[in-house]
Amino acid sequence: MTITGEAIIGGVQERGAAGSFKAWDPTKRDYLEPSFHMVDAGQIDRACLLAGEAFDIFRATTDQQRATFLDTVAEQILAIGDELIERGMAESGLPRVRLEGERGRTVGQLRMFAELLREGSWVDARMDTALPERTPPRPSLRYRLIGVGPVAVFAASNFPLAFSVAGGDTASSFAAGCPVVLKAHSAHPGTSELVARAVTRAVQLCELPAGVFALLTGTGNGIGQALVGHPAIQAVGFTGSRSGGTALMAVAAARKQPIPVYAEMSSINPLFIMPNALAARATEIGKGFAASLTMGVGQFCTNPGLVLAVDGPGLDEFCAAATEALSSTQAAVMLNQGIADSYRKSVHALHTHEAITTLARVEHDEGKGGAALFRTSAEHFLSRHELHAEVFGPASVLVVCQSTDQLREVSELLEGQLTATLQIDEGDHDAAKTLLPVLERKVGRILANGFPTGVEVSTAMVHGGPFPATADGRSTSVGTGAIQRFLRPVCYQNLPEALLPEPLRNGNPLGIWRRKDGALTKE
């Protein structure tokens, strides 16, 4: 397929009317052909209006129809073939094996939501039987979840497939019956166009309204602000920086009708090494940590940017093992120039910080990331908030505490996080029990004896967490739970059977789990 550099609005490719830009190949350090054309205000408006018009038709499809649609999107993505991987590699600098894996994850996510729809209980059907004899009589009440309306999805830079055009936000929006107006990430516009054309073909094959999906291309903040401010948009999915996410939150809150924003933004993913585990497994933990930190050039949201350990047996071994492993890391190309520049600046700031000792630091050329590990004390860390900020890339700060009490004190000071990881042996369980309540308040996922990178796509996953990890700690952006972000309840009181939606009809024609007078049943 020839990449055209066009947006997709109303199912049709069209040239953006507001100037052009090119993608950058971070490996070759050169621009990629062709030019991409930025959409203007009128094009954004049209995409949103079409999404609004498509909503009632799209959400009126059966679960089976939307499941087929999601499966078709997956098939069409696979049908692009190797061109998708090659363009993705060129635009992101990510290796082939990673992008092939990510494609598998993307397709798997779409199919997972298809399965969720086929199972059917996502609709949370509830029925309270009428009690006509009661004083006052109780009416018949039936309840289901429906989509919130068109969703503006902002693709992430660090997952050009799985958190991008047909990533988790889009898949969960579609599953909920919500049209998607997608803002492509300007770092991988060609990859985005290829996937967007696959989605558009799936829309056509499934005979859905063209407004169900639109691709907007461009750079800068203007498109996002216009998109989130558009009256037809009813929710926002975003993965990116804290500044970008909070800017969209402000736009959404200032609307005449405020709308929910699900922004995944910032996390340093503390790794707690408890004393017994440290004494017993320091070298193993050090190596594992270094591997997690440098995986994908440290460009995962769940990268372990903070290590907390209690001074004592094993600490030196941990430092030595981590330092050795990190020092042998090969510097590698980062996703884009902005990320690499920011990483370089942050590492330099830590390296020269008066409260920091540098344990490991791999030098790197422009555009690349190396690896870095810094050390400080709990006292320093507690009083210096600049040390709490996320460094996007393979850099981490080890905070040495004097006791598990101090470790708990530090954890109380942390902002919201996607994950926290405990390295614990049985002798650490009592200390872990005092730490867990703090972590539950602070994070979305608590891991034991592993490392935070690697996010399973499944029913029980939480990829979320209190602000600023995400805009809304009541949600997850990965796993089946992600659909709940784009749903709201509607109750039907005494509505005639003929007018009731199928999931709420007498006799349970869909055979789904429903809550009848409070009790779950398939009756």
H or E element at residue 441: helix 429-442
Question: 30 in the Ramachandran plot: left (φ > 0), alpha (ψ -120 to 50) or beta?
Answer: beta
Selected catalytic residue, list 91, 102, 193, 264:
264
Can you tell me which of 82, 97, 136, 507 binds a copy of itself, judged by CB under 8 A? 136
> Within a 10 A sphere around the Cβ of 45, how many other Cβ atoms?
17
Reply yes or no: is the peptide bond before residue 34 cis, omega within 30 of 0.
yes
Q: Does 179 participate in binding a copy of itself (rule CB under 8 A)?
A: no
Q: Which residues of 465-503 are buried (b: 16+ CB within 10 A; e: fewer)?
A: bbbbbbbbbebbbbbbbbbbbbbeeeebeeeeeeebeeb
DSSP 8-state assignment for residue 69: H
Kindly identify the residues of this chain, within the stretch 25-84, that bind a copy of itself according to CB under 8 A.
55-56, 60
Q: Is 98 in the site for a copy of itself (CB under 8 A)?
A: no
Does 151 participate in binding a copy of itself (rule CB under 8 A)? Answer: no
Measuring CA to CA, how many Å separate 137 from each of 129, 130, 133, 441, 494? 11, 8, 6, 43, 12
Task: For residue 249, give the H/E element and its range.
Answer: helix 242-254
> Minimum CB separation from a copy of itself for residue 202, in Å?
24
Shortest separation between residue 474's beta carbon and a copy of itself, angstroms: 4
The only residue of 290, 487, 508, 510 in contact with a copy of itself, by rule CB under 8 A = 487
Q: Which of 9, 90, 227, 249 binds a copy of itself (CB under 8 A)?
A: 249
Q: Which among 42-50, 249-257, 372-380, 390-398 is the span making contact with a copy of itself, rule CB under 8 A?
A: 249-257
Q: Which is nearer to a copy of itself, 84 or 116 (CB)?
A: 116
Q: Could you give the CA distance from residue 290 to residue 299 in angstroms, rounded to a whole number?
A: 14
What string marks each residue from 293 to 332 as x (binds a copy of itself by CB under 8 A) or -? ----------------------------------------
Q: Which stretch binds a copy of itself (CB under 8 A): 17-25, 113-121, 189-197, 363-371?
A: 113-121
| CA–CA separation, 482 and 476 (whole Å) | 5
Please identify, using beta-carbon distances, which residue of 6 and 102 lies nearer to a copy of itself.
102
Annotated catalytic, 301?
yes
Residue 227 or 435 with smaller CB distance to a copy of itself: 435
Q: Which is nearer to a copy of itself, 80 or 162 (CB)?
A: 162
∠ at Cα 201 (197, 204), nearest 5°?
140
In sequence order, what DSSP letters do the residues of 342-369 get, joined into one string?
HHHHHHHHHHT-TT-EEEEEE---TTEE
491 binds a copy of itself (CB under 8 A): yes
Q: Is 19 in the site for a copy of itself (CB under 8 A)?
A: no
DSSP class of 15: -
Three-state helix/strand/coil letters over 168-226: HHHHHHHHCCCCEEEECCCCCHHHHHHHHHHHHHHHHHCCCCHHHEEEECCCCCHHHHH
d(CA 3, CA 90): 13
Closest C-alpha to 123, from 177, 159, 170, 165: 177
* Residue 216 vs 387, nearer CB to a copy of itself: 387
Within 8 A by CB and 6+ apart from 355, the residues are: 376, 377, 380, 381, 384, 387
The size of the interface with a copy of itself (CB under 8 A), counted in residues, is 82
**Minimum gap (Å) between residue 453 Cβ and a copy of itself:** 11
- The window from 61-69, 292-300, 395-403, 485-493 that contacts a copy of itself (CB under 8 A) reads 485-493
Applying CB under 8 A, among 81, 108, 220, 258 the residue interacting with a copy of itself is 258
64 vs 458 by CB, closer to a copy of itself: 458
Kindly state whether residue 498 participates in binding a copy of itself, applying the rule CB under 8 A: yes
**Burial (Cβ within 10 Å: 0-12, 13-18, ≥19) of residue 420:** buried
Q: What is the spatial distance between Cα 296 and Cα 373, in angstroms, rounded to a whole number? A: 16
How many Å apart are CA 216 and CA 150, to the nearest integer? 14
Q: Which two tokens stand for residue 46?
A: 């049209």
List the interface residues with a copy of itself, window 437-466 (CB under 8 A).
437-438, 440-441, 443-450, 454, 456, 458-462, 464, 466
Residues between 261 and 300 that touch a copy of itself (CB under 8 A) = none
Question: Does 476 contact a copy of itself by CB under 8 A?
Answer: yes
Q: Does 373 bind a copy of itself (CB under 8 A)?
A: no
Reduce the DSSP state of residue 6 to 3 states and report it: coil
Nearer to a copy of itself, 120 or 167 (CB): 120
Phi-psi region of 269 (alpha: psi -120 to 50; beta: other; left: phi over 0): left
Name the one range near a copy of itself by CB under 8 A: 250-258, 271-279, 305-313, 318-326. 250-258
Pick the closer one to a copy of itself by CB: 376 or 417: 417
- Which one is catalytic: 48, 301, 319, 401? 301
Report how far apart, in Å, the C-alpha atoms of 20 and of each of 16, 45, 105, 138 are.
8, 19, 31, 62
C-beta closer to a copy of itself: residue 366 or 426: 426
The stretch among 4-12, 185-193, 209-217, 475-483 that binds a copy of itself (CB under 8 A) is 475-483
Q: Which of residues 402-431 bind a copy of itself (CB under 8 A)?
A: 415-416, 424, 426, 429
Nearest residue to 404 (alpha-carbon basis) of 277, 317, 301, 294 = 277
Cβ 140 to a copy of itself shortest distance, Å: 9
Q: Is 454 left (phi over 0), alpha (psi -120 to 50) or beta?
A: left
> Does residue 515 interact with a copy of itself by CB under 8 A?
yes
Given 93, 473, 477, 510, the residue binding a copy of itself (CB under 8 A): 473
Establish if 499 lies at the interface with a copy of itself (CB under 8 A).
Answer: yes
* Active site residues per annotation: 264, 301
